[in-house]
Structure 1
Amino acid sequence: MRILLSSAFIIASALAAQAGPVSFATGWQEQRLSLFSSNRYGFGENLTLESNGSVSIAWTRVARDSWGSRGASWSWRVDQSVPPTDLSVKGGDDRNISLYFVFVPENLAPGLEGANIRNLLGNSDVRIIQYAWGGNHAAGQVIPSPYAPPGQGVTIALRQAGTGAFNENVDLAADYARAFGGEPGALVGLAVSGDSDDTRSVIRASVGNLVLR
Protein backbone atom coordinates (compact mmCIF):
# COMPACT_ATOMS: atom_id res chain seq x y z
CA MET A 1 0.00 0.00 0.00
CA ARG A 2 1.96 3.02 1.22
CA ILE A 3 5.24 1.20 0.59
CA LEU A 4 6.70 2.93 -2.44
CA LEU A 5 6.58 6.46 -1.11
CA SER A 6 7.82 5.34 2.26
CA SER A 7 10.66 3.39 0.71
CA ALA A 8 12.39 6.70 0.03
CA PHE A 9 13.33 6.35 3.67
CA ILE A 10 15.43 3.26 3.23
CA ILE A 11 18.72 5.09 2.88
CA ALA A 12 18.43 6.10 6.52
CA SER A 13 21.32 4.91 8.68
CA ALA A 14 21.95 1.15 8.69
CA LEU A 15 24.80 -1.26 8.09
CA ALA A 16 26.01 -1.38 4.51
CA ALA A 17 25.33 -4.09 2.00
CA GLN A 18 28.54 -5.47 0.52
CA ALA A 19 29.63 -5.18 -3.10
CA GLY A 20 28.50 -7.99 -5.38
CA PRO A 21 26.43 -10.48 -3.35
CA VAL A 22 24.17 -8.80 -0.80
CA SER A 23 23.99 -10.42 2.62
CA PHE A 24 20.57 -10.87 4.20
CA ALA A 25 22.17 -11.89 7.51
CA THR A 26 23.29 -8.43 8.68
CA GLY A 27 22.52 -4.79 8.10
CA TRP A 28 18.75 -5.04 7.57
CA GLN A 29 16.11 -3.31 9.65
CA GLU A 30 12.34 -3.21 9.53
CA GLN A 31 10.53 0.08 8.88
CA ARG A 32 6.93 -0.01 10.04
CA LEU A 33 4.45 1.97 7.98
CA SER A 34 1.71 1.72 10.59
CA LEU A 35 1.80 1.57 14.37
CA PHE A 36 -0.42 -1.51 14.39
CA SER A 37 0.76 -3.27 11.23
CA SER A 38 3.98 -5.19 10.76
CA ASN A 39 5.30 -8.13 8.77
CA ARG A 40 7.52 -10.84 10.21
CA TYR A 41 11.00 -11.04 8.64
CA GLY A 42 13.71 -13.62 9.10
CA PHE A 43 17.30 -12.67 8.26
CA GLY A 44 19.95 -15.18 7.30
CA GLU A 45 21.06 -16.88 4.10
CA ASN A 46 17.69 -15.77 2.68
CA LEU A 47 15.23 -13.13 3.80
CA THR A 48 11.94 -14.77 4.75
CA LEU A 49 8.68 -12.85 4.91
CA GLU A 50 5.32 -13.54 6.54
CA SER A 51 2.54 -11.00 6.17
CA ASN A 52 -0.95 -11.43 7.64
CA GLY A 53 -3.15 -8.48 6.72
CA SER A 54 -0.13 -6.24 7.25
CA VAL A 55 2.51 -4.16 5.50
CA SER A 56 6.08 -3.03 6.24
CA ILE A 57 9.51 -2.95 4.65
CA ALA A 58 12.95 -4.34 5.51
CA TRP A 59 15.78 -2.12 4.32
CA THR A 60 19.51 -1.65 4.14
CA ARG A 61 22.04 0.79 2.77
CA VAL A 62 24.27 0.05 -0.23
CA ALA A 63 28.02 0.41 0.30
CA ARG A 64 29.87 3.07 -1.69
CA ASP A 65 31.63 0.51 -3.84
CA SER A 66 28.22 -0.60 -5.16
CA TRP A 67 26.71 2.84 -5.78
CA GLY A 68 27.49 2.42 -9.48
CA SER A 69 25.53 -0.84 -9.83
CA ARG A 70 23.53 -1.02 -13.06
CA GLY A 71 22.07 -4.52 -12.84
CA ALA A 72 20.85 -7.05 -10.29
CA SER A 73 19.79 -10.67 -10.00
CA TRP A 74 18.04 -12.67 -7.30
CA SER A 75 15.85 -15.68 -6.59
CA TRP A 76 12.50 -15.57 -4.83
CA ARG A 77 9.76 -17.93 -3.74
CA VAL A 78 6.10 -17.51 -2.79
CA ASP A 79 4.31 -20.32 -0.91
CA GLN A 80 1.14 -18.39 -0.05
CA SER A 81 -0.11 -15.53 -2.22
CA VAL A 82 -2.34 -12.49 -2.07
CA PRO A 83 -5.08 -12.35 -4.74
CA PRO A 84 -4.49 -10.39 -7.97
CA THR A 85 -4.75 -6.61 -7.51
CA ASP A 86 -4.27 -3.43 -9.53
CA LEU A 87 -0.87 -2.06 -8.53
CA SER A 88 -1.80 1.38 -9.86
CA VAL A 89 -4.63 1.85 -7.34
CA LYS A 90 -3.89 3.59 -4.06
CA GLY A 91 -5.24 1.51 -1.21
CA GLY A 92 -5.79 -1.57 -3.36
CA ASP A 93 -2.33 -2.60 -4.50
CA ASP A 94 -1.37 -5.60 -2.35
CA ARG A 95 1.49 -7.71 -3.68
CA ASN A 96 3.42 -10.76 -2.43
CA ILE A 97 6.93 -9.39 -2.41
CA SER A 98 8.77 -6.41 -3.87
CA LEU A 99 12.42 -5.42 -4.20
CA TYR A 100 13.22 -1.70 -4.16
CA PHE A 101 16.24 0.00 -5.68
CA VAL A 102 16.73 3.60 -4.51
CA PHE A 103 18.77 6.07 -6.55
CA VAL A 104 19.93 9.63 -5.93
CA PRO A 105 22.11 11.91 -8.08
CA GLU A 106 25.77 10.96 -7.67
CA ASN A 107 26.75 14.41 -6.40
CA LEU A 108 24.17 14.17 -3.60
CA ALA A 109 24.94 10.63 -2.46
CA PRO A 110 27.83 11.46 -0.08
CA GLY A 111 25.72 14.06 1.70
CA LEU A 112 22.85 11.57 2.17
CA GLU A 113 25.03 8.73 3.37
CA GLY A 114 24.24 9.42 7.01
CA ALA A 115 20.76 10.87 6.54
CA ASN A 116 17.96 9.79 8.82
CA ILE A 117 14.33 9.30 7.93
CA ARG A 118 13.27 12.84 8.75
CA ASN A 119 16.03 14.30 6.59
CA LEU A 120 14.80 12.27 3.63
CA LEU A 121 11.10 13.05 3.90
CA GLY A 122 9.98 14.93 0.83
CA ASN A 123 13.36 14.61 -0.91
CA SER A 124 12.46 15.24 -4.55
CA ASP A 125 15.82 13.92 -5.79
CA VAL A 126 15.10 10.32 -4.82
CA ARG A 127 14.08 7.89 -7.60
CA ILE A 128 12.71 4.44 -6.75
CA ILE A 129 12.27 1.34 -8.90
CA GLN A 130 10.17 -1.37 -7.28
CA TYR A 131 10.12 -4.83 -8.87
CA ALA A 132 6.94 -6.62 -7.83
CA TRP A 133 5.60 -10.14 -7.67
CA GLY A 134 1.86 -9.58 -7.49
CA GLY A 135 -0.96 -7.74 -9.19
CA ASN A 136 -2.56 -8.60 -12.51
CA HIS A 137 -0.25 -6.76 -14.91
CA ALA A 138 1.77 -7.90 -17.91
CA ALA A 139 5.39 -8.74 -17.18
CA GLY A 140 7.61 -5.72 -17.64
CA GLN A 141 4.83 -3.14 -17.38
CA VAL A 142 5.98 0.14 -15.79
CA ILE A 143 3.36 1.42 -13.35
CA PRO A 144 3.63 4.92 -11.84
CA SER A 145 3.41 4.85 -8.06
CA PRO A 146 0.03 5.99 -6.76
CA TYR A 147 1.80 7.32 -3.65
CA ALA A 148 4.95 9.05 -4.88
CA PRO A 149 4.96 12.43 -6.68
CA PRO A 150 4.88 12.09 -10.49
CA GLY A 151 8.21 11.02 -11.91
CA GLN A 152 9.67 9.89 -8.60
CA GLY A 153 8.68 6.24 -8.19
CA VAL A 154 7.52 3.31 -10.31
CA THR A 155 6.59 -0.33 -9.94
CA ILE A 156 7.78 -2.77 -12.61
CA ALA A 157 5.64 -5.89 -12.66
CA LEU A 158 7.67 -9.10 -12.95
CA ARG A 159 5.25 -11.83 -11.79
CA GLN A 160 1.48 -11.87 -11.35
CA ALA A 161 -0.02 -12.96 -8.05
CA GLY A 162 0.48 -16.66 -7.41
CA THR A 163 2.90 -19.15 -5.95
CA GLY A 164 6.13 -20.68 -7.24
CA ALA A 165 9.89 -20.08 -7.33
CA PHE A 166 11.83 -18.10 -9.94
CA ASN A 167 15.16 -16.47 -10.72
CA GLU A 168 15.21 -12.85 -11.90
CA ASN A 169 17.81 -10.79 -13.74
CA VAL A 170 17.14 -7.08 -14.30
CA ASP A 171 18.87 -4.26 -16.16
CA LEU A 172 18.58 -1.39 -13.70
CA ALA A 173 19.99 1.18 -16.13
CA ALA A 174 17.57 0.26 -18.93
CA ASP A 175 14.60 0.17 -16.57
CA TYR A 176 15.60 3.51 -15.07
CA ALA A 177 15.71 5.04 -18.55
CA ARG A 178 12.25 3.64 -19.32
CA ALA A 179 10.82 4.89 -16.04
CA PHE A 180 12.47 8.27 -15.62
CA GLY A 181 14.67 8.96 -18.65
CA GLY A 182 18.44 9.44 -18.56
CA GLU A 183 21.05 7.58 -16.56
CA PRO A 184 20.61 6.42 -12.96
CA GLY A 185 22.65 8.12 -10.28
CA ALA A 186 24.02 6.31 -7.23
CA LEU A 187 22.22 3.20 -5.98
CA VAL A 188 22.14 4.02 -2.28
CA GLY A 189 19.42 1.80 -0.83
CA LEU A 190 17.67 -1.56 -1.06
CA ALA A 191 14.45 -2.82 0.47
CA VAL A 192 12.14 -5.83 0.53
CA SER A 193 8.45 -5.65 1.35
CA GLY A 194 5.24 -7.62 1.49
CA ASP A 195 1.79 -6.01 1.42
CA SER A 196 -1.42 -7.81 2.38
CA ASP A 197 -3.32 -5.21 4.40
CA ASP A 198 -5.90 -4.23 1.77
CA THR A 199 -7.04 -7.78 0.98
CA ARG A 200 -6.53 -9.03 4.55
CA SER A 201 -4.75 -12.03 3.11
CA VAL A 202 -1.59 -13.99 4.02
CA ILE A 203 1.84 -14.01 2.35
CA ARG A 204 4.62 -16.53 2.91
CA ALA A 205 7.62 -15.73 0.75
CA SER A 206 11.40 -15.46 0.64
CA VAL A 207 14.16 -13.87 -1.41
CA GLY A 208 17.84 -14.79 -1.74
CA ASN A 209 20.94 -14.82 -3.94
CA LEU A 210 20.71 -11.06 -4.44
CA VAL A 211 23.69 -9.82 -6.46
CA LEU A 212 24.46 -6.28 -7.61
CA ARG A 213 26.61 -5.76 -10.68
Structure 2
Amino acid sequence: MPNSPAETVVFRKTAPIPVLVLTSAITAGPYVQAEPQLPPFSGLPALDTTSGWEPLEFPKIKEHSRYELVTEDGQQVVRSDTDGGASGLISRVRIVPGQALILRWRWKVSNVFEKGDARLKSGDDYPARIYVAFEFQPAKAGFFEKAKRKAVEVLFGETLPGNALNYIWANQLPQGDIVPNPYTDRTMMIAVNSGPEQAASWVTVERDIVADYRAAFGEEPPPVIGIAIMSDSDNTGERATAWYGDIELLPGS
Protein backbone atom coordinates (compact mmCIF):
# COMPACT_ATOMS: atom_id res chain seq x y z
CA MET A 1 0.00 0.00 0.00
CA PRO A 2 1.26 3.57 -0.64
CA ASN A 3 1.16 4.22 3.08
CA SER A 4 1.06 1.57 5.76
CA PRO A 5 -2.24 0.91 7.57
CA ALA A 6 -0.67 2.05 10.84
CA GLU A 7 0.23 5.40 9.26
CA THR A 8 -3.02 6.15 7.47
CA VAL A 9 -5.92 4.38 9.14
CA VAL A 10 -8.28 6.82 10.80
CA PHE A 11 -11.07 5.79 13.13
CA ARG A 12 -14.25 7.66 12.45
CA LYS A 13 -16.08 8.97 15.49
CA THR A 14 -19.48 7.75 14.36
CA ALA A 15 -20.68 5.61 17.24
CA PRO A 16 -19.92 4.69 20.84
CA ILE A 17 -17.14 2.14 21.13
CA PRO A 18 -18.27 -1.05 22.90
CA VAL A 19 -15.97 -2.37 25.60
CA LEU A 20 -14.82 -5.96 25.88
CA VAL A 21 -12.88 -6.68 29.05
CA LEU A 22 -11.27 -9.96 29.98
CA THR A 23 -11.02 -10.12 33.75
CA SER A 24 -9.52 -12.82 35.90
CA ALA A 25 -11.09 -14.41 38.94
CA ILE A 26 -9.59 -13.77 42.38
CA THR A 27 -7.43 -16.82 41.85
CA ALA A 28 -5.26 -17.25 38.78
CA GLY A 29 -8.02 -19.10 36.98
CA PRO A 30 -9.43 -18.83 33.46
CA TYR A 31 -10.35 -15.47 32.05
CA VAL A 32 -14.01 -14.51 31.87
CA GLN A 33 -15.27 -13.02 28.66
CA ALA A 34 -17.73 -10.15 28.76
CA GLU A 35 -19.91 -9.09 25.86
CA PRO A 36 -20.00 -7.73 23.21
CA GLN A 37 -18.52 -9.98 20.55
CA LEU A 38 -17.59 -8.91 17.05
CA PRO A 39 -20.75 -8.85 14.91
CA PRO A 40 -20.88 -12.23 13.11
CA PHE A 41 -21.07 -12.02 9.35
CA SER A 42 -23.30 -15.09 9.33
CA GLY A 43 -26.07 -13.19 11.14
CA LEU A 44 -25.96 -9.78 9.47
CA PRO A 45 -29.03 -8.68 7.49
CA ALA A 46 -26.88 -6.20 5.54
CA LEU A 47 -23.48 -4.50 5.47
CA ASP A 48 -24.72 -1.06 6.44
CA THR A 49 -24.28 1.49 9.23
CA THR A 50 -26.15 -0.73 11.70
CA SER A 51 -24.03 -3.85 11.10
CA GLY A 52 -21.20 -3.02 13.48
CA TRP A 53 -18.76 -2.98 10.55
CA GLU A 54 -17.84 0.21 8.73
CA PRO A 55 -15.63 1.11 5.75
CA LEU A 56 -11.90 1.34 6.39
CA GLU A 57 -10.45 3.65 3.75
CA PHE A 58 -7.16 5.39 3.08
CA PRO A 59 -6.81 9.08 2.16
CA LYS A 60 -4.53 8.56 -0.87
CA ILE A 61 -6.24 5.49 -2.37
CA LYS A 62 -9.25 6.18 -4.57
CA GLU A 63 -9.88 2.64 -5.84
CA HIS A 64 -11.55 0.56 -3.14
CA SER A 65 -11.96 -3.15 -2.67
CA ARG A 66 -15.56 -4.38 -2.77
CA TYR A 67 -17.30 -6.17 0.10
CA GLU A 68 -20.66 -7.92 0.08
CA LEU A 69 -22.57 -10.57 1.99
CA VAL A 70 -22.88 -13.82 0.04
CA THR A 71 -23.75 -17.44 0.71
CA GLU A 72 -20.72 -19.66 0.20
CA ASP A 73 -20.76 -23.38 0.94
CA GLY A 74 -24.06 -22.99 2.79
CA GLN A 75 -22.92 -20.18 5.11
CA GLN A 76 -23.34 -16.42 4.92
CA VAL A 77 -19.90 -14.80 4.73
CA VAL A 78 -18.31 -11.62 3.44
CA ARG A 79 -16.86 -11.76 -0.05
CA SER A 80 -14.18 -9.23 -1.01
CA ASP A 81 -12.92 -8.45 -4.50
CA THR A 82 -9.78 -6.42 -5.04
CA ASP A 83 -8.47 -5.28 -8.40
CA GLY A 84 -5.70 -2.72 -8.02
CA GLY A 85 -7.29 -1.00 -5.02
CA ALA A 86 -7.42 -1.14 -1.24
CA SER A 87 -9.95 -0.75 1.55
CA GLY A 88 -11.40 -2.80 4.38
CA LEU A 89 -14.19 -3.24 6.88
CA ILE A 90 -13.53 -2.47 10.54
CA SER A 91 -15.35 -3.19 13.78
CA ARG A 92 -14.46 -0.58 16.39
CA VAL A 93 -14.16 -1.98 19.87
CA ARG A 94 -12.13 -1.42 22.99
CA ILE A 95 -10.71 -4.65 24.35
CA VAL A 96 -8.52 -5.01 27.43
CA PRO A 97 -6.86 -8.32 26.51
CA GLY A 98 -5.51 -9.57 29.86
CA GLN A 99 -3.03 -12.45 29.78
CA ALA A 100 -4.43 -14.13 26.68
CA LEU A 101 -6.99 -13.37 23.98
CA ILE A 102 -7.69 -15.79 21.15
CA LEU A 103 -8.73 -14.49 17.76
CA ARG A 104 -10.32 -17.20 15.63
CA TRP A 105 -11.60 -16.94 12.08
CA ARG A 106 -11.90 -18.85 8.83
CA TRP A 107 -11.14 -17.58 5.37
CA LYS A 108 -10.60 -18.60 1.78
CA VAL A 109 -8.78 -16.95 -1.13
CA SER A 110 -8.98 -17.48 -4.87
CA ASN A 111 -5.23 -16.96 -5.34
CA VAL A 112 -2.16 -15.29 -3.95
CA PHE A 113 -0.36 -12.42 -5.68
CA GLU A 114 2.59 -13.41 -7.86
CA LYS A 115 4.39 -10.15 -7.03
CA GLY A 116 3.36 -10.19 -3.36
CA ASP A 117 6.20 -9.93 -0.83
CA ALA A 118 5.56 -8.70 2.72
CA ARG A 119 9.15 -7.47 3.00
CA LEU A 120 8.92 -5.02 0.07
CA LYS A 121 6.83 -1.90 -0.44
CA SER A 122 6.12 -3.01 -4.00
CA GLY A 123 4.79 -6.33 -2.70
CA ASP A 124 2.82 -5.10 0.33
CA ASP A 125 -0.49 -6.54 -0.89
CA TYR A 126 -2.55 -9.50 0.37
CA PRO A 127 -5.67 -11.21 -0.93
CA ALA A 128 -6.79 -11.47 2.70
CA ARG A 129 -5.66 -10.08 6.02
CA ILE A 130 -6.98 -9.49 9.52
CA TYR A 131 -5.87 -6.16 10.94
CA VAL A 132 -5.72 -5.69 14.74
CA ALA A 133 -5.17 -2.08 15.87
CA PHE A 134 -4.03 -1.15 19.35
CA GLU A 135 -4.49 2.01 21.37
CA PHE A 136 -1.82 4.68 20.98
CA GLN A 137 0.48 5.04 23.99
CA PRO A 138 1.54 8.71 24.30
CA ALA A 139 4.00 8.02 27.11
CA LYS A 140 6.08 5.90 24.71
CA ALA A 141 5.99 8.32 21.77
CA GLY A 142 8.47 11.04 20.90
CA PHE A 143 7.71 14.70 20.31
CA PHE A 144 7.51 14.47 16.50
CA GLU A 145 5.25 11.43 16.62
CA LYS A 146 2.87 13.24 18.96
CA ALA A 147 2.93 16.36 16.78
CA LYS A 148 2.17 14.37 13.62
CA ARG A 149 -0.75 12.62 15.25
CA LYS A 150 -2.12 15.89 16.59
CA ALA A 151 -1.99 17.40 13.09
CA VAL A 152 -4.03 14.49 11.70
CA GLU A 153 -6.63 14.91 14.43
CA VAL A 154 -6.89 18.65 13.78
CA LEU A 155 -7.13 18.23 9.99
CA PHE A 156 -9.46 15.24 9.86
CA GLY A 157 -11.13 15.27 13.28
CA GLU A 158 -10.20 11.62 13.67
CA THR A 159 -7.73 9.49 15.60
CA LEU A 160 -4.84 7.30 14.47
CA PRO A 161 -4.23 3.98 16.22
CA GLY A 162 -0.90 2.97 17.71
CA ASN A 163 0.82 -0.33 16.95
CA ALA A 164 -0.88 -2.98 14.84
CA LEU A 165 -0.71 -6.68 14.05
CA ASN A 166 -1.58 -7.85 10.53
CA TYR A 167 -2.40 -11.52 10.09
CA ILE A 168 -1.81 -12.13 6.40
CA TRP A 169 -2.25 -14.74 3.70
CA ALA A 170 1.25 -14.27 2.34
CA ASN A 171 2.87 -15.26 -0.91
CA GLN A 172 6.64 -15.51 -0.28
CA LEU A 173 6.89 -14.94 3.48
CA PRO A 174 7.08 -18.38 5.18
CA GLN A 175 4.16 -19.36 7.39
CA GLY A 176 4.84 -18.36 11.00
CA ASP A 177 7.30 -15.57 10.21
CA ILE A 178 6.84 -12.13 11.75
CA VAL A 179 8.34 -9.13 9.93
CA PRO A 180 7.88 -5.36 10.16
CA ASN A 181 5.72 -3.75 7.54
CA PRO A 182 7.98 -2.24 4.86
CA TYR A 183 6.50 1.19 5.54
CA THR A 184 6.66 1.22 9.35
CA ASP A 185 7.86 -0.96 12.20
CA ARG A 186 4.75 0.00 14.16
CA THR A 187 2.85 -2.57 12.09
CA MET A 188 4.03 -6.17 12.24
CA MET A 189 3.08 -8.70 9.59
CA ILE A 190 2.40 -12.30 10.67
CA ALA A 191 2.10 -14.95 7.96
CA VAL A 192 -0.60 -17.34 9.14
CA ASN A 193 -0.98 -18.84 5.65
CA SER A 194 1.53 -18.73 2.83
CA GLY A 195 1.52 -19.66 -0.82
CA PRO A 196 -1.14 -21.05 -3.15
CA GLU A 197 -1.38 -24.61 -1.84
CA GLN A 198 -4.51 -23.97 0.25
CA ALA A 199 -6.10 -21.47 -2.13
CA ALA A 200 -9.77 -22.18 -2.90
CA SER A 201 -10.12 -24.05 0.42
CA TRP A 202 -11.49 -22.83 3.72
CA VAL A 203 -8.81 -22.47 6.38
CA THR A 204 -9.47 -21.90 10.10
CA VAL A 205 -6.92 -19.86 12.04
CA GLU A 206 -6.50 -19.30 15.77
CA ARG A 207 -4.02 -16.81 17.20
CA ASP A 208 -3.32 -15.51 20.69
CA ILE A 209 -3.21 -11.75 20.20
CA VAL A 210 -1.35 -11.21 23.47
CA ALA A 211 1.39 -13.74 22.69
CA ASP A 212 1.76 -12.39 19.17
CA TYR A 213 2.04 -8.80 20.41
CA ARG A 214 4.73 -9.80 22.88
CA ALA A 215 6.64 -11.62 20.15
CA ALA A 216 6.27 -8.74 17.71
CA PHE A 217 6.90 -5.75 19.98
CA GLY A 218 8.61 -7.20 23.06
CA GLU A 219 6.11 -5.80 25.54
CA GLU A 220 2.58 -6.20 26.88
CA PRO A 221 -0.22 -5.03 24.58
CA PRO A 222 -2.37 -1.98 25.23
CA PRO A 223 -6.12 -2.19 24.58
CA VAL A 224 -7.33 -3.27 21.15
CA ILE A 225 -9.36 -0.51 19.48
CA GLY A 226 -10.30 -2.09 16.17
CA ILE A 227 -10.35 -5.35 14.23
CA ALA A 228 -10.66 -5.24 10.46
CA ILE A 229 -10.69 -7.41 7.37
CA MET A 230 -8.83 -6.14 4.35
CA SER A 231 -8.04 -7.27 0.81
CA ASP A 232 -5.71 -4.98 -1.13
CA SER A 233 -3.80 -4.98 -4.40
CA ASP A 234 -2.84 -1.36 -5.01
CA ASN A 235 0.91 -2.03 -5.14
CA THR A 236 0.95 -5.19 -7.25
CA GLY A 237 -2.03 -4.26 -9.42
CA GLU A 238 -3.21 -7.87 -9.26
CA ARG A 239 -6.67 -9.29 -8.70
CA ALA A 240 -8.09 -11.67 -6.07
CA THR A 241 -11.26 -12.70 -4.30
CA ALA A 242 -11.43 -13.63 -0.62
CA TRP A 243 -14.18 -14.94 1.62
CA TYR A 244 -14.26 -14.17 5.36
CA GLY A 245 -16.29 -16.17 7.85
CA ASP A 246 -17.19 -15.11 11.37
CA ILE A 247 -14.38 -13.65 13.49
CA GLU A 248 -14.50 -14.69 17.14
CA LEU A 249 -12.80 -13.48 20.30
CA LEU A 250 -12.23 -16.18 22.90
CA PRO A 251 -10.66 -16.15 26.37
CA GLY A 252 -7.24 -17.76 26.58
CA SER A 253 -6.57 -20.69 28.86
Q: How does the TM-score come out when normalised to structure 1?
A: 0.80
The match for 2:188 is 154
The match for 1:51 is 82
Residue by residue, what CA displacement relative to the aligned partner does 1:144-184 show, whole Å, maximum 9, x if unpaired? 01222x3x211101112421320000011110001111211
The match for 2:57 is 32
C-alpha displacement of 1:3 = 4.5
How far apart in 2 are the matches of 1:188 and 1:139? 26
Tell whether the 8 Å contact from 2:13 to 2:158 is kept in structure 1 after alignment.
no
The match for 2:120 is 89
Q: 1:41 aligns with which of 45, 51, 67?
A: 67
* Amino acid in structure 2 at the alignment position of 1:30: P
May I ask how many residue pairs the two structures share in their alignment? 199
Q: Greater relative contact order: 1 or 2 (C-alpha under 8 angstroms, separation 6 or more)?
A: 1
* Amino acid in structure 2 at the alignment position of 1:42: E
* Amino acid in structure 1 at the alignment position of 2:126: R
The match for 1:112 is none
C-alpha displacement of 1:209 = 2.1
**Counterpart check, 1:12 vs 2:12:** yes
Q: 2:218 aligns with which of 169, 173, 181?
A: 181
Gaps of 5+ in 2: 19-34, 45-50, 71-75, 140-152
Gaps of 5+ in 1: 109-114
Moved more, 97-106 or 161-170: 97-106
* Amino acid in structure 1 at the alignment position of 2:12: A
Tell whether the 8 Å contact from 1:52 to 1:201 is kept in structure 2 after alignment.
yes
Residue by residue, what CA displacement relative to the aligned partner does 1:99-155 show, whole Å, maximum 9, x if unpaired? 0111126999xxxxxx8964424x6xx11000000221111111101222x3x2111
Moved over 3 A (4+): 14-18, 105-108, 115-119
C-alpha displacement of 1:7 = 6.0
The match for 2:109 is 78
Residue by residue, what CA displacement relative to the aligned partner does 1:63-93 show, whole Å, maximum 9, x if unpaired? x4x4437221000011243225210111322
Q: How does the TM-score come out when normalised to structure 2?
A: 0.69
How far apart in 2 are the matches of 1:172 and 1:181? 13
Moved more, 67-76 or 185-194: 67-76
The match for 1:100 is 131
Residue by residue, what CA displacement relative to the aligned partner does 1:4-62 show, whole Å, maximum 9, x if unpaired? 235642x4335557633533331222233345311101147422100112111221201
Inter-CA distance 158–7: structure 2 relative to 1 (3 Å threshold) = farther
How far apart in 2 are the matches of 1:171 and 1:21? 16
Identity %, equivalent residues? 24
How far apart in 2 are the matches of 1:194 and 1:7? 16
SS at match of 2:122: coil
Tell whether the 8 Å contact from 1:14 to 1:28 is kept in structure 2 after alignment.
no
